[in-house]
Structure 1
Amino acid sequence: MLKEVYRICPKCGMSNDMEANFCLKCGTKLTDADKKPLLKHSGRFIDVLAGLDISAEERAAAQQVEFLVGGLPADSIMNSPVYAEAVGNPGESIKSVTDQLVEKLYSTAVSLNLAGVANLKINTEVVPGVSERTVYMLAYGDGFIRAQE
């Protein structure tokens, strides 16, 4: 099956069966609007943000942040190079470490009052261990603010 659909809790991000009326993890009431695909080995930055336990003010600020592979937007000014890193535990999935990295990117951008990060690069190194491998990830780019800020 290419598309697995679950009821994803809007509060904690837990994937629940399609028939569930309440989240098994936090008890939040689920509706048809919570039906979403479960991406086990991939995802979107905004989905990581949705699963974070943060204040409404932090969430609103983070939702405005842009992450761009390309250059600075025309209405922006370079602020400072920024980076974030994530190191997985031995045997931890690359998706899990990527989610940690995305959380740290959002944290960095919001903490520094950035509008976003342009020229974003992500390096990944997988180091084999005695019994399991360890994933190291580094993201870096140009933090920017809007010209009118």
Structure 2
Amino acid sequence: MNVFGIAGYSGSGKTTLLEKLIPVLTARGLKVSVIKHAHHGFDIDRPGKDSYRHREAGASEVLLACNDRWALMHERRTEAETTLSELLGRLSPCDLVLIEGFKQEPVPKLEVYRPENGKPPLFPERNDIVAVASDAALETALPVLPLNDMNAIADFVMARLNLKER
């Protein structure tokens, strides 16, 4: 699978960028999936619902399904954290997997950088960052893409991964 990361500090706009980038890539005929790493625990289930009750009773996996979608919840309880490679193995085949988070994984990444966030850029310290999307002028040899130009960002990602429009 072709994997490309979106990196940056919290509040930099990673999710917003993905929300705008995905439709541009899918309009070009690509099948796109996303893996998002959450730093804090999360739950897509609600107390009182049957699936919640099943998990609380000790089920290791609960799969919810309806006409429009399905979701598999896997309880790790005593297992080590799932690796990116293991998560990629659970996805259906697609043209491109965009990952948000997983900052330490050695995959090519676009850094979303906003100086007003008050944090230093990641790119000087990380050789897996291959470009930066920013609304500021930056001194770097890396390509700096306009933060709000999704066509330019899509062009870069597709060229970097040698993906063709369908």
Q: Is the TM-score greater than 0.5? A: no
Choose between structure 1 and 2: higher strand proportion.
1
TM class, shorter-chain normalised? under 0.3
TM-score by length of 1: 0.26
Between 1 and 2, higher relative CO (CA 8 Å, sep ≥ 6) is seen in 2
